[in-house]
Amino acid sequence: MKILIIEDEEVLRKVLREKFEKEKFTVEVVSDGERALATAKQFAPDLVLLDIMLPKKNGLEVLAALREDPECERMPVIMLSNLGEDEKITRALALGAVDYLVKTQHPINEVVEKVKNYLLKPY
Amino acid sequence: MIMSTWITTLAKKIVPAPPADVCPFSCDQCVSAQADEMRRKKEAAEAEKAQDEAILQSIGEGLIVTDKNGIIIKVNRACEEMLGWAGDEAIGKKITDMIPMENEFRKRMSFEERMVANVLTGAMFRSGDRTPGNTYYVRKDNTRFPVKILLTPFFLANRIVGSVAVFHDMTREHELERAKTDFISLASHQLRTPLAATKWALDLFLEETAGDSRYKARLDDLYMSNERLIELVNSLLDISRIEAGRAVNRISVNLADLVTRACDELRALAEKKGQTIQITLGKEVGTVLVDPLLFHEVVKNLIANSIDYGFPNTTISVGVERTPLEYRISVGNVGPMIPREEREMLFDKFYRGASAQQIKPTGSGLGLYIARTVVEANGGSIQLDASDEHGTRFSFTIPAEH
């Protein structure tokens, strides 16, 4: 299974990569919003983990761009953010994110479980 | 004497007597005195008019007066400055032509869509407090600013002959509002990012060293400290959100589900102290209109307090009952009494009673403050029902949804 992680914080990128590789995922990471779409098209992941506060292009813009691209429109996207405001969550879900996780509220194992659960669902 | 009285009476009948201080014979001297008097009155009236005008012009808020047809008949200086006009150029023009109004999506509103139309037809007597939050006036140079308008009709002989609008430029208020929101986003991100990094790095570390007892206790301590910081940041963000007025995201929620879920989430914590959580749901528990995330926090917070401050191996009782207008949710434990002198301050921000500090040194003093703020913002009230040698019970109310 392939997972694309879009995250600007280095420690989080490292930890997420390590964890998902341990779980036998093929992992690609991107650290800013601008390169996200091109990488998504090229890498064709089974699922995208997407942060919101990103340099150059924020996560919601990336999500909208993914949804508008014929190659990426059906990729499941889980938002993984530190912003917990209702309006952000509502907007992300309205734009087609399958889930929205506030990072500090979930142990890393739970994040992996959520990802696995969505990958088991046909889309 | 009799004769002269008769003549005077007759004269009064034929020629109405002038006021005592006015000469009846219109001699030059008296005419000039009358003219002086009229001039003085005119000057006084003009001075009064000038004063009224000066007051109108000095009002810091914009002022627009229209006639019955929405034609502008008067504006003040603040209005001209705010809208970028020079002199009296607005006078005689239709209000919609001179001051276009837009909604938040930049859609221009027609005369009929504007409140002034309702005010002029008498459909609305005073609309000021009903101005929608996202209304904009468009300046002469086509830029715009958010506006709050107090509109009232004005009457002559009991008929509406025009409208008076006093408006306030809300740019500053909007900026403050945005700054608060930006702060919440920034603080969420800046504070939570290192906490998430620590949490997940510790997750991995705990996993890698599983079974090695040398590390376990220390890593658990680190993990718990980090969790405490996470909770503290969550509380502070909740408070910022509530205080910025951004917590009123009310939706219809099934109250029984909300309370049951909060209990379920805390069952493991209670079991660690050998406690059981018992829920009593009264009849007719339906839906309430609340912010579900915040209310979930309130219920959880009261239950978690009951667990933390309750004696081991006892029962935490959670009840929901319906009164004609509202629901009462109560949470009680078997535990030590809250000292009388601490009771009044329990709901204050950052307050921690001496006895509470002894039992649970790690509390932030924010839980009950948040609970009170959330409950009150949703039209309810919260109180300490009882605290004696048998235990302590808190309860709060929420209006029932009709």
Put simply, the answer to whether B200 touches A15 (Cβ < 8 Å) is: yes
The answer to whether B130 and B152 are in contact (CB under 8 A) is no
The answer to whether A64 and A92 are in contact (CB under 8 A) is no
A4 three-class SS:
strand
pLDDT at B320: 95
Residues in A lying within 8 Å of B, measured between beta carbons: 9, 11-12, 15-16, 18-19, 53, 82-86, 102-105, 107-109
Task: Quote the mean pLDDT of chain B.
Answer: 84
Task: Quote the mean pLDDT of chain A.
Answer: 91
- Look up the pTM and report it: 0.58
Q: Give the pairing type, strands A2-6 and A26-30.
A: parallel
Q: B17 pLDDT exceeds 60?
A: no
B392 confidence band (pLDDT: 50, 70, 90): very high
The ipTM estimated for the assembled molecules is: 0.90
Mean pLDDT, residues A21-48 taken together? 94
Instruction: Nearest chain B residue to A87 by CA: give it.
Output: B249
Which residues, 6+ apart, have CB-to-CB distance to B121 below 8 Å?
B160
Spell B112-135 as b/e; 16+ CB within 10 A means b: eebbbbbbbeeebeebbeebeeeb
For A69-73, B71-75, B291-295, B396-400, which range has the lowest pLDDT when averaged over its residues?
B291-295
List pLDDT tens digits, range B103-123. Answer: 877 888 888 888 888 888 877
For B1-10, B18-27, B187-196, B354-363, which range has the lowest pLDDT when averaged over its residues?
B1-10
List pLDDT tens digits, range B366-391. Answer: 889 989 988 988 889 999 998 998 89
CA-CA distance, B127 to B149, in Å (whole number)?
Answer: 8
CA-CA distance, A5 to A27, in Å (whole number)?
Answer: 7
Instruction: Nearest chain A residue to B294 by CA: give it.
Output: A86
Using a CB-CB cut-off of 8 Å, the residues of chain A touching B290 are: none
3-state secondary structure chain B: CHHHHHHHHHHHHHCCCCCCCCCCCCCHHHHHHHHHHHHHHHHHHHHHHHHHHHHHHHCCCEEEEEECCCEEEEECHHHHHHHCCCCCCCCCCEHHHHCCEECCCCCECCCCCCHHHHHHHCCCCCCHHHCCCCCEEECCCCCEEEEEEEEEEEEECCEEEEEEEEEEECHHHHHHHHHHHHHHHHHHHHHHHHHHHHHHHHHHHHHHCCCCHHHHHHHHHHHHHHHHHHHHHHHHHHHHHHHCCCCCCCEEEEHHHHHHHHHHHHHHHHHHCCCEEEEEECCCCCEEEECHHHHHHHHHHHHHHHHHHCCCCCEEEEEEEECCCEEEEEEEECCCCCCHHHHCCCCCCCCCCHHHHHHCCCCCCCHHHHHHHHHHHCCCCEEEEEEECCEEEEEEEEECCC
- Stretch 217-256 of chain B: residues touching chain A, C-beta under 8 Å: 230, 233-234, 237, 241, 246, 249
pLDDT at B19: 57
pLDDT at B123: 75
pLDDT at B395: 95
Using a CB-CB cut-off of 8 Å, the residues of chain B touching A84 are: 188, 234, 237
Put simply, the answer to whether B204 touches A19 (Cβ < 8 Å) is: yes
**Count of C-beta atoms within a 10 Å radius of residue B380:** 21
**Higher-confidence position of A53 and B11:** A53
Q: B1 pLDDT exceeds 50?
A: no
Instruction: Nearest chain B residue to A107 by CA: give it.
Output: B200
Mean pLDDT, residues B123-133 taken together? 60
pLDDT at A67: 93
The answer to whether B90 and B98 are in contact (CB under 8 A) is yes
Q: Which residue has the tokens 């319906």?
A: B322
Mean pLDDT, residues B75-103 taken together? 88
Interface A:B, Cβ pairs < 8 A: 61
Whether the CA torsion A104, A108, A114, A118 is positive or negative: it is positive
pLDDT at B5: 46
B3 confidence band (pLDDT: 50, 70, 90): very low
- Residue B158 one-letter amino acid: N
Interface check for B267 against chain A (CB to CB < 8 A): the answer is no
**Higher-confidence position of A36 and B158:** A36
Find the radius of gyration of the CA atoms of chain A. 13
The answer to whether B350 and B369 are in contact (CB under 8 A) is yes
CA-CA distance, B251 to B267, in Å (whole number)?
Answer: 26
Please list the residues that pair with B169 across neighbouring strands.
B147
Instruction: Nearest chain A residue to B229 by CA: give it.
Output: A104
pLDDT at B72: 93
CA-CA distance, B299 to B275, in Å (whole number)?
Answer: 17
Q: B11 pLDDT exceeds 60?
A: no
**Higher-confidence position of B253 and B27:** B253
Mean pLDDT, residues A91-100 taken together? 91
Element (H, E) at A120: helix A108-120
List pLDDT tens digits, range B225-282. Answer: 999 899 888 888 887 777 766 555 678 889 999 999 999 989 999 999 999 999 999 8
pLDDT at A8: 92
